[in-house]
Homo-oligomer: A and B are copies of this chain.
Amino acid sequence: MNTLTPVQQKFILHWGEMGTRWGINRTVAQIHALLYLSPKALNAEEIAETLTVARSNVSSSLKELQGWGIVKLVHVLGDKRDHFESMKDVWEMFRVVLDERKKREIDPTLTMLRECLIELEDEKAKDTYTGERIHAMRDFFETTTAWYQQIRTWPTNAVVPFVKLGDKVLRVLGIGGG
């Protein structure tokens, strides 16, 4: 896997671009893509060569990917170097990333919003509009995170039938205005 097929290149390059759009370092995303496509665990040297990036850069990128929890260190018999492999189950992978982003970004935002509301209590009268808007925002995040908690563990095979139900869902559940 030292030279990439055109298709592998295409995938890895696109994944890198996707990364940047969602606040993930391009190289980090590319390394992840490479490991995702690789049938065997790769060592840092191989990754650096294949993607032509500096060895040190690979090191820190791998650390970050491990921090996200979608790449892990493994050992290969008869080779003392560290090897790395990506999680392969796409559903699980995205669940892990979403969990992590929730922890890093959504939860702190909720904390911030709650703090704002507490601080506003004192000066309630003079600036109700801000309070209103922040209140609405907090409600949104609270509801959607609860929602996410609900569906994050759905088995893969639940989603397809769910989609198939289409408009019927809300009626069957007897909720919403549907």
Band of interface residues on A: 35 or more
Q: Which of B20, B120, B158, B178 contacts A178 (CB 8 A)?
A: B158
Q: Which of B10, B147, B158 contacts A176 (CB 8 A)?
A: B158
Evaluate contact between B134 and A154: CB separation under 8 angstroms: no
Evaluate contact between B170 and A172: CB separation under 8 angstroms: no
**Is A21 part of the contact surface with B, judged by Cβ < 8 Å?**
yes
Chain B proximity mask over A17-53: 1 for CB below 8 Å, otherwise 0: 0101111000000000000110100000000000000
Evaluate contact between A127 and B5: CB separation under 8 angstroms: yes
A173 to chain B, nearest CB (A): 6
Nearest residue (CB) in B for A94 is: B140
* Chain A to chain B contacts (Cβ below 8 Å), 23 pairs: A7-B119, A7-B120, A7-B127, A10-B115, A10-B119, A14-B112, A18-B109, A21-B105, A37-B129, A37-B130, A90-B136, A143-B163, A146-B163, A150-B162, A150-B166, A150-B169, A154-B170, A157-B177, A158-B170, A158-B178, A162-B176, A165-B175, A173-B173
Contacts A5-B127, A7-B116, A7-B127 known; 20 new A-B pairs at CB < 8 A: A5-B123, A7-B130, A10-B112, A11-B112, A11-B116, A20-B23, A21-B104, A36-B133, A37-B130, A88-B136, A146-B163, A147-B163, A150-B163, A155-B178, A157-B176, A157-B177, A158-B170, A158-B177, A158-B178, A161-B175
